[in-house]
């Protein structure tokens, strides 16, 4: 790890002040991606700004019938939250499947979505559940937030403060983990939101995407059978030693069906 | 350098560390608590698992400064002061849940948290709950037996289990 | 189901008792002492700058900026090493090619001079006050590389025009070796009713002991003594190789300590460059130097395992009797010859190609090949898993082709107990074994007869279920030294043991074996408790320090008990013999009338007796002692040189289910029935088997070391991509053993159990996978059977899934 200066602000305004004043600052929340990256010397920030002491960024609450989760809320907190279990139980299950128990005790919702790893679980949840990302400057619909591999719509000095999820109807998430890293090779979230079916796919492409054909098929018949014969084009999907693009395309179809079964179950 | 003050195994300590110093480095290099091990550099093997404020975390993936003001328990702090093993430690011995011993501290710390955070454990839950800990020696068979027995013992011997 | 020893233990801590481990308390309370836990006064830290290229010429190395960096004490390169006349790392086994020529043995410098030949090759060492400072400074070392083309697989490396790893190894060939009777084998094929052919790859693995390698070198200016703490399975071997061959330090000036070591599986047998670097440099800078590998470094600097490409043919007669086996194997050596590398695909592989069968004619050809990859050497099983995989896969396919039940075909060809001792056509003599017994017991445990119903039930759930087995045999406890020497070994292969009876009746045992998970501190103490009839608490086992233990060859090849235990047993014989003489004197009886049982020397037919403790006290306070006949003291040493290999054997059976939608293979059931000869501690033995099985499963389903064929970059260089088995990847196991065929030629009757699981495991699982896919017309799948590979095979199958 390269040397850096560490800061631990206690308010959001202090955070934004620090961020805008530094040449090459990085924000750390749970650090479950940033610290491994720093250890491998793949990043050399001048300053590391820790959000851990900013109380206003943390916590889970019910608001307007939906759910608002603060950016520094840990995966384990989402997984164990009574509010989440009541409003969107499958979101708690999804959080409970991120990384391992120790990662879930440190890793945060905000950290995950700001990193926007193409094989992270939360992007599927945000897009599939039609969530809204709140920042210190504005609100961004989830679909506009995730712009590319490891890229988001955030501006340089913009901080995610929370994510708001409307209360959905049926929700199911199925993931096929990479056998080594356990990240999602493919993860599919199927949800009924505001009367429409949404299907969001993570892991398969450079960035989370919706699968319109599946959404259409499920809108008229919310069952796994409705997806029979539907495939996504392997062109443009990710490929690595663990999964070819073609295999990923197959997994999208298989996981989508399993997500529907979970949602219906 | 930054000053960091925390409680480790019940004792208050203060040390000067760099921003980049990891919690595991603070424990091993500054405090001499070498029971916590490092087995990988990608936060997967779990040899470095300790408890921070009662929850298991990977001490190779937390900055020492982030532990400021918190309570850390390492494998050295698990047994009673008189050397009586924590029920989970005793179960690992009873069921031969360790061979070379290198992954063991992290495995035991993860197992204690797993037992505390589940009312009921079965083989499947234990196997899934140990996802973050890699052992190359035991094939996990005896670790699973040990964790099930240790969790049971923690329920029936709450006093010793609370020694932590 | 549990195992029970053939004979009840003589006491609660004797042979056959599942004594709880004495090493556990320190490991469970964080008080183990691994190399990285040791810090020496005034210690510095070393960081090794490694090659980022698989193959490159080095035009120059500029260390000036690094030397100016904060905290830096020294920076050394290959030039400094060469200037001090430091030699290359030696290879411990010489193989001769078919034509009688010796293998090509390129130099293996601890730090390279002008050329790197694999990613991870050592280029420079940076020594600083802290590890982070050394790493910071390493980025300031300017190396001028010219990248050259690389080759990573043995078939590619043998092709005309392939990039050369070493100029002196024409065509990248290290040796072209053979074993067996070619003419007899050809004749067998000429009369065969059926020939089964199989091409297979034994995938390259990374051993991944959980403790990364580490070393601390220290030089004492006052005495001229060097000390090396290292993560080694055999500290005496390191003292010999590094002291005599690399650094020129005589034994009496070099102490090597291997303290608690966190697993080895073969990868910590070898003498590595970093050990020589820190030892040599500690004198240069006059301070101790610690080096600890990061896991990503381990991936590119620990010796890898396996990596065979093989074509095999099995000839059978009309009744399914094996007539002959023909094998051609390419073995990837990597870029340099690691310590024992040449012996693995030869004398630990081809010699095992008879398996458990009476195949009368076998001919094997092995070409060892250099590539631009990390050196390959022994990894748990070492050659024997490759042999077992080949035999058991081809037997399985032969059974399917001939329409004979896989168990029946094996039965027809097993070497029966009545044929023991049995000389195989590939140079081994099996002393004993009851192969059909293990098979029967395993079939019973897994309910073989009930399998078709389970398969049908799985099919109704949309799953493909398969059952597979492997009947393995291994050669362990290597070996008579004179035989090994004749075959090219450059060292002896005995073990030493010293048994020191103290005046007040406690015992310290010094053993040249090394425990890094094998539980010697418990099982070896059981031998002593059993033999002397003393409480196990009165016994201490010392290992891992050349200044304490007389000599040693270390722990590998399942040899600790069979060879190291036998040495201790011999030393205990000497203790008893001497003590008997002392007892006879004290009891005023003839030595021939003294009986030793349960810790007591008794005059036969009387109640006059002395405990061994009484005798020990007299040996050190020799007031009533036969001083004209005997020396005082009770401290005996023995070297044991094995008379033959030992031959652990057994049958493993696995049942798997495949999800055809995703290609995921789940192991539903796994049983193993083994013959390890006499068992000292059932609990420990079962634990060894469990661990071995999971390494076998790992190879079969998950683990694969993958290089980019163009650039030679390691694509699986961390746990993000190298798939280590985790708890939820494997099931629990049913493990049993029998003790009805104890080893006939060592004093304990033991055979060794450390590698068995890994030797049979991969073949067992792959036979089950292929069985599950057989209805689709799939005859073979290379390891690892990852979800991607299985799914792909199902897509490409000649029989579509729907038609099944």
**What would the pLDDT profile of B57-101 be if each residue is shown by its tens digit?**
999 999 999 999 999 999 999 999 999 999 999 999 999 999 999
Decide which of 3.30.365.10, 3.20.20.140, 3.40.30.10, 3.40.50.300 is the CATH code for C494-640: 3.30.365.10
- C35-41+208-301 belongs to which CATH class? alpha beta
pLDDT of residue A218 exceeding 80: yes
The pairing of strands C361-370 and C322-334 is parallel
Confidence band of B133 (pLDDT split at 50, 70, 90): very high
Q: How far is B158 from chain A (nearest CA, A)?
A: 23
pLDDT of residue A21: 80
pLDDT of residue A181 exceeding 60: yes
Q: What are the pLDDT digits (tens) for A9-45? A: 999 999 999 998 888 999 999 999 999 999 999 999 9
Q: How far is B5 from chain C (nearest CA, A)?
A: 23
For residues C281-293, average pLDDT: 98
Q: How far is C136 from chain A (nearest CA, A)?
A: 7
Q: What are the pLDDT digits (tens) for A115-160? A: 999 999 999 999 999 999 999 999 999 999 999 999 999 998 899 9
How many domains is chain A built from?
3
Q: How far is B92 from chain C (nearest CA, A)?
A: 8
**Cis before residue A231, ω within 30 degrees of 0?**
no
CA neighbor of A51 nearest in space, from A68, A28, A75? A28
CA neighbor of C348 nearest in space, from C645, C758, C106? C645
Q: Is C723 exposed, middle or buried (0-12, 13-18, 19+ CB in 10 A)?
A: buried
The answer to whether C661 contacts A242, with C-beta atoms less than 8 Å apart, is: no
**HEC profile for chain A?**
CCCCEEECCCCHHHHHHHHHHCCCEEEECCCCCHHHHHHCCCCCCCEEEECCCCHHHCCEEEECCEEEEECCCEHHHHHHCHHHHHHCHHHHHHHHCCCCHHHHCCCEHHHHHHHCCCCCCHHHHHHHCCCEEEECCCEEEHHHHEEECCEECCCCCCCEEEEEECCCCCEEEEEEECCCCCCEEEEEEEEEECCEEEEEEECCCCCCEECHHHHHHHHHCCCHHHHCCCCCCCCCCCCCCCCCHHHHHHHHHHHHHHHHHHHHC
For residues C79-87, average pLDDT: 96
Query: C280 - beta bridge partners?
Result: none
Q: Domain of residue A42: give its range.
A: 5-50
Q: What are the pLDDT digits (tens) for C505-521? A: 999 999 999 999 999 99
pLDDT of residue C443 exceeding 60: yes
Contacts of A2 in chain C (CB under 8 A): 136
Q: How far is A44 from chain B (nearest CA, A)?
A: 11
The pairing of strands A146-148 and A151-152 is antiparallel
pLDDT of residue B159 exceeding 70: no
Chain A contact for C662, CB < 8 A?
A: yes
Chain A contact for C715, CB < 8 A?
A: yes
Query: What domains, with CATH codes, occur in chain B?
Result: 2-77 (3.10.20.30), 87-161 (1.10.150.120)
- Which residues in C109-172 belong to E strands, given as ranges? 115-116, 122-128, 142-147
pLDDT of residue C96 exceeding 50: yes
For residues A155-184, average pLDDT: 96
Q: What does the domain layout of chain C look like in residue ranges?
A: 35-41+208-301, 322-479+644-803, 494-640
Joined together, the tokens standing for residue C551 give 């000599």
The answer to whether B61 contacts A106, with C-beta atoms less than 8 Å apart, is: yes
Joined together, the tokens standing for residue C117 give 């030949």
pLDDT of residue C31: 97
Chain A contact for B143, CB < 8 A?
A: no
Do residues A190 and A161 share a domain? no
Residues 676-715 of C with CB under 8 A from B: 683-684, 686-688, 690-695
Nearest CA in chain A to C662: A251
Chain B contact for C722, CB < 8 A?
A: no
Confidence band of C8 (pLDDT split at 50, 70, 90): low
For residues A224-243, average pLDDT: 96
For residues C209-238, average pLDDT: 98
For residues A201-206, average pLDDT: 98
Q: What are the pLDDT digits (tens) for C581-637? A: 999 999 999 999 999 999 999 999 999 999 999 999 999 999 999 999 999 999 999
**How much of chain C, in percent, has pLDDT values that exceed 90?**
96
From the list A32, A99, A101, which residue is nearest B110 (CB)? A101
Chain A contact for B114, CB < 8 A?
A: yes
Chain A contact for C70, CB < 8 A?
A: no
pLDDT of residue C7 exceeding 60: no
CB atoms within 10 A of CB C710: 11
Contacts of C786 in chain A (CB under 8 A): 179, 242
For residues C674-701, average pLDDT: 98
**How much of chain A, in percent, has pLDDT values that exceed 90?**
97
Do residues A186 and A151 share a domain? no
Q: Is C478 exposed, middle or buried (0-12, 13-18, 19+ CB in 10 A)?
A: buried
Q: What CATH number has the domain bearing residue A194? A: 3.30.390.50
Interface test with B, best of C1, C23, C29, C31 (most B CBs within 10 A): C29
C427: Cβ–Cβ under 8 A, 6 or more apart, which residues? C179, C351
pLDDT of residue B160 exceeding 70: no
The answer to whether C786 contacts A40, with C-beta atoms less than 8 Å apart, is: no
pLDDT of residue B161: 59
Do residues A197 and A104 share a domain? no
Do residues A62 and A155 share a domain? yes
Weakest mean pLDDT among C462-466, C475-479, C611-615: C475-479
Do residues A94 and A118 share a domain? yes
Q: Given CATH 3.30.365.10, say whether it is the number of domain C322-479+644-803.
A: yes
Q: Provide the mean pLDDT of chain C.
A: 96
CA neighbor of B108 nearest in space, from B142, B140, B69, B146? B146
Nearest CA in chain A to B19: A6
Chain A contact for C666, CB < 8 A?
A: no
For residues C68-74, average pLDDT: 98
The pairing of strands A160-165 and A151-152 is unpaired
Give backbone dihedrals phi and psi of C355, rounded to 5 degrees, phi first.
60, -140
Q: How far is C520 from chain B (nearest CA, A)?
A: 11
CA neighbor of C496 nearest in space, from C237, C119, C292, C277? C237
Asked whether the domain spanning C322-479+644-803 has the same topology as the one spanning C35-41+208-301, the reply is: yes
For residues A70-88, average pLDDT: 98
pLDDT of residue C1 exceeding 50: no
Chain C contact for B73, CB < 8 A?
A: no
Joined together, the tokens standing for residue C77 give 């390169």
Q: What CATH number has the domain bearing residue A30? A: 3.30.43.10
pLDDT of residue A15: 95
Nearest CA in chain B to C21: B93
pLDDT of residue C799: 85
Are C497 and C640 within 8 A, CB to CB?
A: yes
Give backbone dihedrals phi and psi of C730, rounded to 5 degrees, phi first.
-130, 160
Q: State the Cα–Cα distance between residues A49 and C433, nearest whole angstrom.
A: 66
pLDDT of residue C803: 45
Contacts of B108 in chain A (CB under 8 A): none
Q: What are the pLDDT digits (tens) for C9-63? A: 557 899 999 999 999 999 999 999 999 999 999 999 999 999 999 999 999 999 9
Nearest CA in chain B to C688: B138
pLDDT of residue C2: 42
């Amino acid at each position: 790890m390269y040397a850096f200066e560490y800061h631990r602000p206690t308010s959001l305004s202090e955070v934004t002040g620090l961020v805008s004043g530094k040449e090459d600052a990085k924000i750390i929340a749970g650090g479950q991606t940033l610290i491994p990256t720093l250890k491998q010397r793949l990043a050399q920030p001048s300053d590391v700004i820790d959000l851990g002491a900013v109380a206003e960024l943390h916590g889970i609450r019910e608001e307007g019938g939906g759910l608002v989760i603060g950016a520094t809320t840990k995966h384990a907190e989402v997984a164990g939250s009574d509010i989440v279990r009541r409003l969107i139980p499958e979101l708690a299950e999804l959080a409970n499947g991120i990384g391992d128990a120790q990662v879930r005790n440190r890793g945060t919702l905000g950290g995950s979505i700001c990193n926007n790893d193409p094989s992270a679980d939360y992007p599927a949840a945000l897009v599939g559940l039609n969530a809204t990302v709140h920042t210190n400057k504005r609100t961004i619909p989830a679909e506009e937030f995730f712009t590319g591999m490891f890229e988001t719509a955030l501006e340089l000095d913009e901080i995610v403060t929370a994510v708001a999820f409307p209360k959905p109807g049926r929700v199911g998430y199925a993931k096929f983990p990479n056998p080594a890293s356990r990240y999602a090779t493919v993860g599919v979230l199927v949800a009924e939101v505001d009367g429409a079916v949404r299907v969001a796919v993570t892991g398969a492409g450079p960035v989370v995407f919706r699968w319109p054909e599946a959404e259409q098929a499920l809108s008229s018949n919310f069952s796994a059978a409705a997806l029979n014969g539907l495939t996504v084009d392997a062109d443009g999907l990710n490929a690595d030693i663990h999964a070819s693009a073609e295999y990923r395309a197959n997994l999208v179809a298989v996981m989508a069906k399993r997500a529907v079964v979970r949602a219906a179950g | 350098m930054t000053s960091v003050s925390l409680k480790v195994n019940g004792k208050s300590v203060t040390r000067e560390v760099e921003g980049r110093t990891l919690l595991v480095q603070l424990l091993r290099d500054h405090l001499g608590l070498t029971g916590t091990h490092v087995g990988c550099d990608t936060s997967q093997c779990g040899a470095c698992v300790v408890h921070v404020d009662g929850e298991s975390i990977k001490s190779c993936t937390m900055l020492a400064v982030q532990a400021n003001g918190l309570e850390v328990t390492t494998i050295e702090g698990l047994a009673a002061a008189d050397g009586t093993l924590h029920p989970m430690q005793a179960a690992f011995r009873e069921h031969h849940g360790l061979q070379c011993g290198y992954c063991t501290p992290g495995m035991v710390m993860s197992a204690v948290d797993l037992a505390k955070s589940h009312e009921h454990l079965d083989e499947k839950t234990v196997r899934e709950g140990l996802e973050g800990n890699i052992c190359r020696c035991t094939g996990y068979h005896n670790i699973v037996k040990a964790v099930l027995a240790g969790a049971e013992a923690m329920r029936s011997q709450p006093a010793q289990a609370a020694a932590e | 189901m549990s195992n029970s020893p053939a004979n009840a233990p003589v006491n609660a801590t004797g042979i056959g008792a599942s004594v709880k481990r004495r090493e556990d308390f320190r490991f469970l309370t964080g008080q183990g002492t691994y190399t990285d836990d040791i810090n020496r006064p005034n210690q510095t830290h070393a960081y090794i700058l490694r090659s980022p290229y698989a193959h490159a010429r080095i035009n120059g190395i500029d260390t000036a900026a690094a030397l100016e960096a904060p905290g830096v004490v020294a920076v050394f390169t290959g030039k400094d090493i060469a200037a001090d006349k430091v030699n290359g790392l030696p290879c411990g086994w010489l193989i001769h090619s078919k034509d009688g020529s010796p293998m090509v043995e390129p130099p293996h410098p601890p730090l390279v001079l002008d050329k790197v030949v694999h990613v991870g090759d050592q280029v420079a060492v940076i020594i600083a006050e802290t590890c982070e400072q050394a790493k910071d400074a390493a980025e300031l070392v300017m190396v001028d590389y010219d990248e050259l083309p690389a080759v990573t697989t043995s078939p590619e490396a043998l092709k005309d025009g392939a990039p050369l790893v070493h100029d002196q190894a024409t065509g990248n060939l290290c040796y072209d070796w053979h074993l067996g009777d070619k003419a007899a084998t050809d004749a067998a094929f000429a009369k065969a009713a059926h020939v089964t052919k199989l091409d297979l790859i034994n995938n390259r693995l990374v051993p991944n002991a959980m403790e990364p390698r580490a070393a601390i070198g220290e030089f004492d200016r006052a005495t001229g003594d060097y000390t090396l703490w290292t993560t080694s399975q055999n500290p005496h071997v390191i003292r010999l190789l590094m002291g005599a061959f690399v650094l020129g330090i005589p034994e009496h000036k070099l102490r090597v300590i291997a303290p608690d070591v966190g697993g080895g599986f073969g990868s910590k047998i070898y003498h590595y460059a970093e050990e020589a670097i820190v030892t040599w440099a500690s004198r240069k800078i006059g301070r101790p130097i610690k080096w600890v590998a990061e896991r990503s470094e381990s991936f590119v600097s620990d010796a890898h395992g396996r990596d065979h490409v093989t074509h095999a043919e099995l000839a059978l007669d009309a009744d399914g009797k094996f007539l002959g086996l023909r094998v051609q194997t390419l073995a990837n050596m990597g870029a340099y010859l690691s310590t024992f590398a040449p012996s693995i695909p030869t004398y630990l592989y081809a010699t095992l190609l008879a398996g458990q069968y009476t195949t009368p004619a076998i001919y094997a050809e092995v070409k060892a090949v250099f590539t631009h990859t990390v050196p390959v050497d022994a990894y748990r099983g070492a050659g024997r898993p490759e042999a077992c995989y080949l035999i058991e896969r081809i037997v399985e396919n032969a059974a399917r082709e001939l329409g004979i039940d896989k168990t029946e075909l094996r039965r027809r060809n097993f070497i029966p107990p009545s044929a023991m001792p049995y000389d195989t056509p590939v140079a081994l003599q099996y002393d004993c074994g009851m192969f059909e017994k293990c098979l029967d017991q395993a079939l019973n445990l897994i309910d073989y007869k009930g399998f078709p119903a389970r398969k049908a039930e799985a099919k109704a759930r949309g799953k493909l279920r398969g059952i597979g087995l492997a009947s393995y045999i291994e050669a362990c406890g290597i070996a008579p030294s004179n035989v090994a020497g004749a075959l090219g070994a450059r060292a002896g292969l005995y073990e030493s043991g010293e048994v020191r009876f103290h005046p007040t009746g406690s015992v310290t045992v010094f053993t040249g074996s090394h425990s890094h998970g094998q539980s010697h501190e418990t099982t070896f103490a059981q031998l002593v408790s059993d033999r002397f009839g003393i409480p196990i608490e009165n016994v201490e086992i010392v290992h891992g320090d050349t200044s304490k233990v007389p000599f040693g060859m270390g722990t590998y090849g399942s040899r600790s008990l069979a060879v190291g235990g036998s040495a201790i047993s011999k030393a205990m014989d000497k203790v008893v013999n001497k003590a008997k003489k002392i007892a006879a004197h004290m009891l005023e009886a003839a030595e021939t009338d003294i009986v030793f049982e349960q810790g007591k020397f008794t005059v036969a037919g009387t109640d006059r007796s002395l405990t061994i403790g009484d005798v020990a006290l007299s040996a050190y306070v020799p007031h009533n002692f036969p001083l004209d006949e005997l020396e005082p003291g009770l401290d005996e040493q023995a070297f044991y040189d094995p008379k033959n290999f030992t031959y652990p054997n057994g049958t493993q059976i696995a049942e798997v289910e495949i999800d055809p939608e995703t290609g995921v293979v789940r192991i539903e059931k796994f049983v193993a029935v083994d013959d390890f000869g006499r068992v000292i501690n059932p609990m420990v033995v079962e634990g060894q088997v469990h661990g071995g099985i999971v390494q076998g499963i790992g190879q079969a389903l998950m683990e694969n070391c993958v290089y980019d064929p163009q650039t030679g970059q390691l694509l699986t260089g961390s746990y993000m991509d190298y798939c280590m088995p985790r708890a939820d990847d494997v099931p629990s196991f049913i493990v049993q053993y029998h003790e009805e065929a104890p080893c006939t030629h060592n004093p304990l009757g033991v055979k060794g159990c450390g590698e068995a699981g890994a030797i049979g495991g991969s073949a067992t699982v792959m036979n089950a996978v292929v069985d599950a896919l057989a209805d689709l017309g799939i005859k073979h799948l290379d390891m690892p059977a990852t979800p991607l590979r299985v799914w792909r095979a199902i897509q490409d199958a000649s029989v579509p899934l729907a038609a099944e």
